[in-house]
Chain A
Amino acid sequence: MLKIRNIRTYYGNIQALKGITLDIAEGEIITLIGANGAGKSTTLMSICGVARPRYGEIFFRGTPIHEMSTEKIVALGICQVPEGRRIFPNLTVMENLEMGAFLRRDGHGIKNDLDHVFDLFPILAQRRSQAGGTLSGGEQQMLAISRALMARPKLLLLDEPSLGLAPLIIQQIFEIIKKINAESKTTIFLVEQNANLALKVAHRGYVMENGLITMSDSAINLLGNEEVKKAYLGL
């Protein structure tokens, strides 16, 4: 579904990605784990065109997207849940969700997806007329994921959904991620520092270090890998 071929992304003169190649197949949950500053978020930003790779190519279902503008990439069906949630604090929950469906014009479909999202996160239905900024951290993350789902993405990019949340809430959110993948066959690309949890829900994983992919394997194998255990699982 998504093919990334040897991309290098720079911030000014600083090279953040030193040649990343990875593949995501339809219907998979893929996770990208690594330490702070390894280039995980930059990889995501390069896919959505917010940070543009200087070299290399990205294909989404055969279409080259590395030179497309962000809004065209979103229109193709790639939607991002940005790091740190980034919901609109002064808009209500409902308006946040409507912004998610910004590019869609099928009123009926939007309505259905709204019901679907409220099914996934019943708490949001209760909070629908409350300003986004007044929600708790966990609820904000739920809102951020729901907002992305409102775009009805084919590929959902999640940037550190566990950031700053209580373990119980993280557990709940990862359950939902699994459910989204299983029920609506949405392909999910999950960037996480919480390697343990990420590898438990993912099918395959990539390990990233200093702008390079150092390992790629099935999630189960990575969980059992001695190096990964030492470096990321703290075992």
Chain B
Amino acid sequence: MWKFFSLDEIKKSLLMALWFIFLTFPIMVIRVNPIYNVVEWRWQNMALVGAGAFFLSFLWRYFLEYKNPAPSKPADDAAVSRSGRFSELLRSSGTRRLAIGAAVILALAFPYLFSSYQVNIMTTALIYVVLGLGLNIVVGLAGLLDLGYVAFYAVGAYSYALLNLHFGLSFWICLPIGAALAALFGILLGFPVLRLRGDYLAIVTLGFGEIIRLVLENWNDFSKGPSGIAGIPRPGIPGIEMSLNASSVFLYFLMIALALFTIMVVSRLRNSRIGRAWIALREDEIACQAMGVDKTKTKLTAFALGATWAGMGGVMFAAKTTFINPASFTFLESAIILSIVVLGGMGSIIGVIASAFILILLPEYLRAFSEYRMLIFGAVLVIMMVFRPQGLISNVRQTYRFKGLQENKEGD
């Protein structure tokens, strides 16, 4: 601990402080006052930035050290058992059942404990849980980097809005139709990108996402262009009138049901034959072919099944906001959904759920900090990626059991 205050470390921190002063100088120190035509020099800000950076850099290094203890030190053992204990806790059925029970009670009681504003935010977060789990199939399991996922979300939302507008179809009919259309678009996207991998795939899917958005924005006769579609009905139960409040609670429970359904299907998919094929395909395409895995079919099902959930999420989104326009389906949306998957830990279901809640709820609750909201949000993302690059909860598949290894060594 005390070695953090050696001369060397102080030098490092001083440099860091100087660097931050230099970086923030134009925005923190200089202010041009256009009314009096003078430049204000706010030197006290410079001192604050310098002192802040100096002390925070100590903290930063301390935590980095804490995360990767240098090898051949007693601290090493402690670090292993620490992460081991956490995953052990996750694995034990007792705590798991308790956690699930608590989550169920909280989820059921939520609308009666909190305001309708909170219920609305929670519904949005649940939509992102579904989206995250859907993209998790494509990115986390099959390893296909898809930056245009929001396109399928748009397909779902617009299929409900348009079918309702022109043919008066109800939410309940549109939910499966939206899912099916999104799956169809998933296959349409899948065909041309079958041979692509990595960066190239990312670029093409990014383009695909933008194409869908631009079509929606410019094809006025079809989608009403940038002015969007308003007055989309909320889902209801035929024959029952619901107040605005009641219908948002109803939507919340609907979303809970959809999220549970998604979790169930995705976790079953992961352990199925096709799930195995996806994971194997992610690991090594050539070896997969040698095992007789049909590459084309496997990739297309990943795209189609991933898109299905985006389609359903889209229908839900349209029903929740009752108004959609192309501005809701920008690249930023894709980026957020991808962040949910990466932050949650690729391929891990619980991780994706947790990170969807964090990424969607955090900016909402940070509204109290008004203009610093996005700054804090960005800082949280950076800190998470530095300290847990494998995601919040990395896939159980990849965790290592030291006990087993030792047994093997004895067996040799």
Contacts and interface: CB of A to CB of B under 8 A. Distances in A.
B398 interface: yes
Given A95-B276, A99-B276, A127-B408, A89 B291 contact: no
A69 B290 contact: no
B294 A80 contact: no
Given A71-B294, A102-B293, A129-B404, A86 B286 contact: yes
Interface in B361-402: 397-398, 400-401
A182 interface: no
B398 A90 contact: yes
A82 interface: yes
Interface in A200-219: none
A4 interface: no
For this complex, into which size category does the number of interface residues on chain B fall? 20 to 34
Interface in A2-59: 48, 50
B290 A82 contact: yes
B397 A90 contact: yes
Contact of A131 (B279, B294, B398, B408): B398
Interface residues of chain B: helix, strand, loop or mixed (majority): helix
A74 interface: yes
A148 B288 CA distance: 11
B342 interface: no
B394 to A, nearest CB: 11
Interface residues of A, number: 32
A88 B287 contact: yes
A127 B397 CA distance: 15
Interface string A78-95: 011110001111111001
A100 interface: yes
B292 A90 contact: no
A160 B325 CA distance: 58
A148 B290 contact: yes
A89 B294 CA distance: 20
Contacts of A228: none
Contacts of B400: 131
Given A71-B294, A91-B279, A102-B277, A50 B289 contact: yes
Interface in A72-125: 74-75, 79-82, 86-92, 95, 98-100, 102-103
Interface in B143-184: none
A130 interface: yes
B280 interface: yes
Contacts of A129: 401, 404
B283 A48 contact: no
Contact of B290 (A79, A98, A126, A127): A79
A99 B283 CA distance: 12
B290 A74 contact: yes
Contact of A102 (B292, B401, B408): B292
A100 B291 contact: yes
Contacts, number: 81
B292 A75 contact: yes
B241 interface: no
A91 B293 contact: no
Contacts of B401: 129
B38 interface: no
Contacts of A80: 290
Contacts of A126: 408, 411-412
B40 interface: no
Nearest to B284: A86
A151 B294 CA distance: 15
B405 interface: yes
A90 B286 CA distance: 16
Contacts of A48: 289-290
A70 interface: yes
Contact of B289 (A71, A88, A92, A131): A71
A48 B288 CA distance: 12
B405 A130 contact: yes
A154 interface: no
A147 interface: yes
Interface centre among A71, A103, A130, A147 (most CB of B within 10 A): A71
Among all A-B residue pairs, the 7 with the closest Cβ atoms: A74-B292, A86-B287, A88-B283, A103-B292, A80-B290, A71-B292, A71-B294
15 contacts: A48-B289, A50-B286, A74-B290, A79-B292, A82-B287, A86-B284, A88-B280, A90-B283, A90-B397, A91-B283, A102-B277, A102-B280, A103-B292, A126-B408, A151-B291
